Structure 1
């Protein structure tokens, strides 16, 4: 092979090597970005500015509009300037309403701002005074005050959220100057001995404002209990309440202490339908209830009852300080159906003959009349004291004991369960302290035996749950935004974005509707906002790539790429060195050739000149 052919061959080999190495590096340069893009975590954009807006205390200001309608019978109204009276009443509410004058003070908000406790809540009262010819002012003389009296005074109104204040004449034989009767259907009845404008204002406005001040205090305390460790009666009462949930599971259990002593059954389905269905139906707007029941035999309690024989009243008893250990979790099957809904348990316990009759002693050592107790955020227990002695005597005579709890038998027990459930759900009775009332005034309270909750109590519960839902939804969205911002490898799918946007929309709609007084619609918005925000926060796709950050990618792929990339880099370096060396040699050869040619030209020119 000639020298020229060898040079061409070497040049061709060098070119092939460069093409091969360049192709491999080209694959690297194109493939790595594609690999990086295909392995990155998908993150839909979240509206961080809209979420951050709800950090501002001014955005969290909640002001409920309360619609009050003063109703005067015609025999009073014909002698009264209705418009002037309305202005006076409205002026009194505006002047004395301390809970409605919470101004939206602007305050700086830093990046580390957390939601203030308590939230800003206010009530604004709008008064409308009118007269009616449906009854006279002495209607109280015709019919005694009871649940039916509420229905008798109910007016046909298009505004379901309006509270009616009826001005009526007090009985002459009454000892008190004024009687206040709070009805079950959003009625506030004022019975006065002297029907004057001054008395109407004096004996209605302060009491109504005080009624909403108590509600305001209850709402505020539901937030402050998270920070204050106060063991007062009010705080202990609030600790019983379940946190809000859109669904609850309720399990009714009949526990028989010893099946050898008694064989029992109960008509629980009929009892629930009779005593609880109206209650559950009324609260269906707030929460849904899944109902189940069971009977368990040999349900022995882990507590050892003590014996007492004082005052010829032989009985066994449990002390209140030990009741927290009454539940036998190891042996009692209190499992609820698989669900995310919080379970609420109600137990009717029948003690064995060896511990009968079984009572509960209070802190003073006296027998507790109800013979029932409540476990905070768990449920309630009733120890049956009616079956104890009769069944024990029958058993000692050798008779087989079988007893079926009929609907009538279960009535007092269901009433206790209902009262316990009201306490667990945070339903507060409307009560006034003597210091809250003017002198010589008596207050009477109506009950709703059919529904188990009055309209006043329902509205208070709606407003309290609305505030809690709005604050918790805002807090959850803020936590979600901070979490997503701090973890770059967290998956954020489009459905998460949709839920966040829906929650923000519900928050906006709720705050727009609050001034309208439509409490049910406002609550639905707050409920939807809370549910959507929690669904977004706890969505399982949010953590699918949480534990596979970029450092893990390096750890997995470096053992693959490093052994390949190092030889390729060295070969590429050597090829560049060779190309540089060959280029330099070529330049030197060309310089030598050029010098040689120049020398020959000079010599030839010299010869021509000499010749």
Structure 2
């Protein structure tokens, strides 16, 4: 075969190989849609939008009939009072952080409050206003305290069941009006500001799933709530309960109120032979009834996970468990000791509620059956009322509701505080306002953290599949974050909450998409290991043929050069 023909054959084979390599590389490549990394980094660095949680307080100063509010026979300067109150509150609540990652604009408006000479019940003079229907817009009604006060407190602060506060002052002076208004406003917003700031200003962007230590459940648009009646010894006692009526009467109003933030589905069960995972200790007392007890150290092991079937198969939503436990006859009465006086056993006291909370899980209450109980014990709706009150209180803590009475406790040294009767919903409007703000901050931060983790994961694993719908979900999450931030700046908390929920749902849907890990364990090294046994045996003869033809070509050139000379 002529040399030219050999070279043409070798060149043809190499042409096929070189043209096929790009096609092979393209067909074996992993598809990766381009994610908006710059936008994610902008949110992670807090440059995309400044979070803002504004509050508005309308202060109504009392005046008789149609007259203007006066102090010492001089008209009150509304503009000066408004500026002073705003400055005082900001000074009291100013943060020491050099750079605030979140803003708390405060708007104070002063208005005239015409009332009649009958001031025995000031609440009836507080006419409903539009601000009472809007989150974070409050009305403070201030009047002189008539008749003469019988207490040495500077003022009496009465909180209604909505967003209205009535303050009656001992001394009707401009300074007292400014001081009382500043103190009340600071007390209302201080706690929620601290919690929002601690969530939003997390420099490491770690997931903030709790609002008060490790107690609060991670946010979910829906929770599965399970009530369990656990019978320690069914051989001697059969138990039953009217849990449906109890839930409808005592829990449903609360669930309806907090549905603004999260929805709840409720189910119940009765389990028999529910043995404890720990052995109670025995307390023998002289001249007093003896009993069994559990110490705080043993409470974490109360749940018998091996035998108690508490896993919900109804839904995939986070489950909140509430257990009413009936101990066996040989462990009755069973009580829970507090953690005081550990060095002296006799100083320990049983908890009056005989119940405890498990952070991010649920609550447990222990009901000791009567000694005369035999055969069957049934709990009516009325019997379950004290336990439902305990469960509602525990649920408040699990979803991040902070007690309004504790919030206003900072005023008790100088002011007399009275709260409106606890509403049937077991949560006040002011408490719900704080929860909404905290959940918005939590959702925004967790959305950013999830998107940042997703972007980092995609960059660290070049063989991870990123399909177009992943990019769509990420972009929708970023759009929802932007809309939530804009709604906050407009003081529209309901819209901000909805957008923040959409943001966290979209980001988690993208992060946990099953297509994201389909190529996780098939990197380039595996590709080379699979194809090298096929390509190497074929490529070696081709390379040797090229080398041989190059040598022959050089030899021919040298011979031609010699002949020419």
Q: TM-score, normalised by structure 1?
A: 0.80
Q: CA deviation at 1:47?
A: 1.7
Secondary structure class of the residue paired with 2:404: coil
Secondary structure class of the residue paired with 2:109: strand
Q: CA deviation at 1:309?
A: 3.2
In 1, distance between residues paired with 2:292 and 2:201? 40
Moved more, 83-92 or 500-509: 83-92
Paired residues of 1:43 and 1:492 also in contact (CA < 8 A): yes
Equivalence for 2:102: 121
From 457, 468, 479, give the equivalent of 2:453: 479
Matches within 5 A, 1:403-414: 403-414=377-388
Counterpart check, 1:457 vs 2:431: yes
Equivalence for 1:350: 326
Matches within 5 A, 1:412-561: 412-431=386-405, 436-437=410-411, 440-561=414-535
Moved more, 458-467 or 153-162: 153-162
Equivalence for 2:345: none
Counterpart check, 1:371 vs 2:345: no
Counterpart check, 1:255 vs 2:230: yes
Equivalence for 2:162: 185
Q: CA deviation at 1:499?
A: 1.7
From 130, 150, 153, give the equivalent of 1:157: 130
Equivalence for 1:290: 265
Paired residues of 1:70 and 1:167 also in contact (CA < 8 A): yes
Cα deviation code 1:384-411 (max 9, x no counterpart)? 13xx22xx3243xxxxx22322211111
Q: CA deviation at 1:156?
A: 3.8
Counterpart check, 1:65 vs 2:54: yes
In 2, distance between residues paired with 1:445 and 1:257? 41
Secondary structure class of the residue paired with 1:545: coil
Paired residues of 2:163 and 2:430 also in contact (CA < 8 A): yes
Q: CA deviation at 1:87?
A: 4.2
In 2, distance between residues paired with 1:248 and 1:226? 29
Paired residues of 2:188 and 2:407 also in contact (CA < 8 A): no
Paired residues of 1:503 and 1:533 also in contact (CA < 8 A): yes
Paired residues of 1:85 and 1:197 also in contact (CA < 8 A): no
Secondary structure class of the residue paired with 2:353: coil
Counterpart check, 1:26 vs 2:23: no
In 1, distance between residues paired with 2:203 and 2:227? 30
Q: CA deviation at 1:566?
A: 0.9
Q: CA RMSD in A?
A: 3.2
Paired residues of 2:102 and 2:201 also in contact (CA < 8 A): no
Moved more, 466-475 or 124-133: 124-133
Equivalence for 1:606: none
From 316, 320, 335, give the equivalent of 1:359: 335
Q: CA deviation at 1:39?
A: 1.1
From 119, 142, 148, give the equivalent of 1:167: 142
Paired residues of 1:264 and 1:403 also in contact (CA < 8 A): yes
Counterpart check, 1:278 vs 2:253: yes
In 2, distance between residues paired with 1:403 and 1:152? 52
Cα deviation code 1:408-464 (max 9, x no counterpart)? 111111110000111111110123589833755211223543222111111111111
From 199, 206, 209, give the equivalent of 2:186: 209
Equivalence for 1:309: 285
Matches within 5 A, 1:380-419: 380-385=363-368, 388-389=369-370, 392-395=371-374, 401-419=375-393
Cα deviation code 1:296-320 (max 9, x no counterpart)? 0111212222243344223322223
From 265, 287, 295, give the equivalent of 2:240: 265
Equivalence for 2:87: 94
Structure 1 regions of 5+ residues with no counterpart?
Answer: 1-9, 107-118, 144-148, 228-234, 396-400, 593-611
Secondary structure class of the residue paired with 1:470: helix
Does the C-alpha gap of structure 1 residues 76 and 311 become closer, same or farther in structure 2, counting only changes over 3 Å? Answer: farther
Tell which structure's C-alpha radius of gyration is larger. Answer: 1
In 2, distance between residues paired with 1:262 and 1:245? 38
Secondary structure class of the residue paired with 2:60: strand
Paired residues of 1:359 and 1:368 also in contact (CA < 8 A): yes
Secondary structure class of the residue paired with 2:77: helix
Equivalence for 1:603: none
Q: CA deviation at 1:359?
A: 1.8
Paired residues of 1:99 and 1:121 also in contact (CA < 8 A): no
Secondary structure class of the residue paired with 2:308: coil
Work out which structure has the larger RCO, using CA pairs closer than 8 Å and 6 or more positions apart in sequence: 2
Paired residues of 1:94 and 1:125 also in contact (CA < 8 A): no
Counterpart check, 1:40 vs 2:33: no
Secondary structure class of the residue paired with 2:225: strand
Does the C-alpha gap of structure 1 residues 394 and 125 become closer, same or farther in structure 2, counting only changes over 3 Å? Answer: closer
Q: CA deviation at 1:132?
A: 5.1
Paired residues of 1:166 and 1:190 also in contact (CA < 8 A): yes
Does the C-alpha gap of structure 1 residues 226 and 363 become closer, same or farther in structure 2, counting only changes over 3 Å? Answer: farther
Structure 2 regions of 5+ residues with no counterpart?
Answer: 205-209, 341-347
User: Which has more helix, going by share of residues?
Assistant: 1
